[in-house]
Amino acid sequence: MKPVDYMVYTFIASNEEVSYSYQMTEPDECEAKCLNDCNCTAYANTDIRDGGSGCVIWNGGLFDIRSYPNGGQDLYVKLAAADLDVKITSHGRIIGSSIAVTIFLLLSIIILSYWKRKQKRSITIQTPSVDQVRSQDLLTDEVVLTSDRYISRENKTDDLELPLMEFEALAMATNRFSVASMLGQGGFGIVYKGMLPDGKEIAVKRLSKMSLQGTDEFKNEGEKMLIYEYLENLSLDSHLFDKIRRSNLSWQKRFDITNGIARGLLYLHQDSRFRIIHRDLKASNVLLDKNMTPKISDFGMARIFGRDETEANTRKVVGTYGYMAPEYAMDGIFSMKSDVFSFGVLLLEIITGKRSKGFYNSNRDHNLLGFVWRYWKEGKGIEIVDPIIMDYSSSALRTHEILRCIQIGLLCVQERAEDRPVMATVMVMLGSETTAIPQPKRPGFCVGRSLFETELSSSTQRDDDLTVNQITLSVIDAR
């Protein structure tokens, strides 16, 4: 027997429309009666006589049946087998579609979760910096390592999260961290030279357990073992202060290096996602690739600022004396302007070829800033320039450019932070010959240690050569 079903309508019963009716004793008896009657087109359970429960059966066509939203009785109209198949098929399609969509969504979630987990297992080697390794400092572009292969930077995804590092891959690259692979040792540990499977030379910095610098400083550099691209030209100080290598630094190369450092510092201060204060910019922390392109390194002391922060204060002053701004060295206040001060010192080192730290000359200029300021004030700024530069730069145009850079350097080392330019302004002054540059004032830390202190520390100075003048002040208070 083919399946049947009923469509339910709400109606008002009328005895004239009833084909026949009878009393029933069971609730399902009326439905069974209609099901067994081939002529039955509809039925209804209703009270039709004296308040008793009855069953009303309709045979043939249904006429004058009205549907009411409220009140009335339920009328069960028998459906044809064809109509029943359509209804079942439509209902099945809805259920099937719902199941298919649900399965699709579940599979998508599973695939996405698997993909993200796989990406987390990839290893990204970040390249913020590397600490000074005795003129063997190194820096790198980002690479990705997995346990079984090396992936170039072009193939890595942009949304990799903090990675893990496969120790075995690094051990193989450095010949098990052999002594022959060691490049040098710095404050954070030993740096080893290695080679990736594709032939790319790298350096691996391994944190020393005996390091005097703790993990708090190291966190800024990322992991406890870092991979860096090996840079053939080492650090800037290995060229600038070496009697032989400095001859390769013409003024044009020095000027290009200066611009590169300024662009890097501008990126840290302005263009990066977070404002970064380096706090230890110096010649040994500027690394040079094979094209002598500078890269700022050693972010172990760096501090990250929010966009609304301009300065901070610390009780723990870190960095290198000779490059520190006065407000930072004396009061622990650091900001973008303290990095500008360090850049100014570095620029004057590049121009003069002389170290700021440990500077000494016979004219009792007790630091590099005092030396440069004295000659600049006397109108003899060109005399402080490294003689090697002047051999390359005999034209008047180069001389004007050099003097302009000296003036910029002195502006960057002003004693008051508000008198120093920001790096964006420095970039404009370096790149334009027509931009007006203010006249600098006396730089910070211009005098250095007092003459009295210097002479006391000299082992050759006799006591009778010293003269100490004293003055006594009397203060009279009225009764």
Surface-to-core class of residue 159, CB atoms within 10 Å of its CB (0-12 exposed, 13-18 middle, 19+ buried): exposed
SS3 label, residue 223: coil
Q: CA 282 to CA 278: how far, in whole Å? A: 10
291: left (phi over 0), alpha (psi -120 to 50) or beta: alpha
DSSP conformation class of 79: P
d(CA 302, CA 128): 10
Give residue 202's identity as a one-letter amino acid code: I
Catalytic residue among 280, 339, 365, 386: 280
316 in a labelled binding site: no
Residue 41 CB contacts under 8 Å (≥ 6 apart), including other chains: 58, 59, 60, 61, 62, 77, 78
The pair of structure tokens assigned to 202 is 């790298």
The first and second tokens of residue 377, run together, are: 């004030």
Please state whether 398 falls in left (phi above 0), alpha (psi between -120 and 50) or beta.
alpha
Among candidate residues 106, 129, 225, the one with its CA nearest the CA of residue 173: 225
3-state SS class at 344: helix
- Told to judge if 280 belongs to the known catalytic residues of this protein, a careful annotator would answer yes
Q: Are 136 and 183 in contact (CB under 8 A)?
A: yes
- Contact (Cβ atoms closer than 8 angstroms) between residue 140 and residue 227: yes
Torsion angles phi and psi, residue 21, rounded to 5: -145, 160
CA angle 315, 317, 323 (to 5 degrees): 150
> Which residues lie across from 21 on neighbouring strands?
56
- Catalytic residues, by residue number, are 280
- Known binding-site residue numbers for ATP: 205
Q: Which residues are part of a known binding site?
A: 205
